[in-house]
Amino acid sequence: MFHERGYDAGSLDDVATVLGLRKASLYHYVRSKAQLLYLIFDRAITLSLQRLDQLSEISDPRVRVAALIEHQVRIMAEEPSLFSVFFDQRPRLDGSFDVAIRQKERAYVRRIAEIVDAAVAEGGLPDVDARHAAHALLGMTSWVYKWFDPGRDDIDDVARTMVRLVLGAQVDFGSGPPVGPDDADSGKSCGWPVQVADSTSIR
């Protein structure tokens, strides 16, 4: 609803109607529209962190970077409504809720910077500032929610293009089924194994 109408135009009455609930029943789950927006934001960042946890299973730092890019592309392409609210409605998030989300966002950026740092140390990426690179990767991949068209675009093809821009390598994301949001903590992989065809150092 917030995706379709925006936060200001939507109401808890509208949410209750869409869910087939009475407003009083909805208040059993959420205290206010502001809290509901926070729960949407928390769902988006928590889902992203859960998927990022799976990357620690990959030992090759360069392959981990490729899997990170695929993870970002896939989650944005699969959940455009969720991330549209996350990015477009950010100014509407109340102060205390904003603090909690920013803490998780900083943790997310740190985790990505650590992946970049490991790839730099192994010669898989040029000697760059890891924090700057983390934000650059996020900027490139996060915009997917705006323009990805499932009728025209293929998630793997988009991810391959971005990996090639960053690593200068062809990749194979495997043939496993994409992981849905409800499988984020089930131990399934996001289309892995990832194979990087050219493992030449590019430092």
CATH of the domain at 175: 1.10.357.10
| Region 79-94 average pLDDT | 87
* pLDDT tens digits along 93-145: 888 899 999 999 999 999 999 999 999 999 999 999 999 999 999 999 999 99
* pLDDT tens digits along 25-61: 665 667 777 888 898 899 999 999 998 888 988 989 9
Please name the amino acid found at residue 10: G
User: CA nearest 81: which of 30, 44, 124?
Assistant: 44
SS3 assignment, position 195 = strand
Give the C-alpha separation, 193 to 55, whole Å. 11
Give the C-alpha separation, 143 to 145, whole Å. 5
183: its two tokens: 């499988």
Q: What is the pLDDT of residue 6?
A: 60
Are 26 and 39 within 8 A, CB to CB? no
Beta-bridge mates of residue 195: 172
Residue given tokens 């065809």 in the structure block: 197
In a domain, 203, yes or no: no
Cβ neighbours for 19, distance < 8 A, ≥ 6 positions apart: 26
Q: What is the pLDDT of residue 76?
A: 95
In a domain, 202, yes or no: no
In a domain, 32, yes or no: no
Give the total number of structural domains in the chain. Answer: 1
In a domain, 20, yes or no: no
In a domain, 31, yes or no: no
Check whether the bond before 193 is cis (ω within 30° of 0): yes
Confidence of residue 78 (pLDDT cuts 50, 70, 90): very high
In a domain, 27, yes or no: no
Confidence of residue 194 (pLDDT cuts 50, 70, 90): low
Confidence of residue 3 (pLDDT cuts 50, 70, 90): low
In a domain, 162, yes or no: yes
Please name the amino acid found at residue 161: T
In order of 152, 161, 165, 187, 190, the CA distances from 64 in angstroms are 27, 16, 15, 17, 12
User: CA nearest 167: which of 45, 39, 64, 55?
Assistant: 64
In a domain, 85, yes or no: yes
The boundaries of the domain holding residue 104 are 48-196
* pLDDT tens digits along 150-186: 999 999 999 999 999 999 876 666 533 333 334 434 3
Residue 15, pLDDT > 80, answer no
Give kind and range of the element (H or E) at residue 171: strand 171-172
Q: What is the pLDDT of residue 92?
A: 83
Please count the residues of the chain: 203
Q: What is the pLDDT of residue 37?
A: 85
134: its two tokens: 């983390």
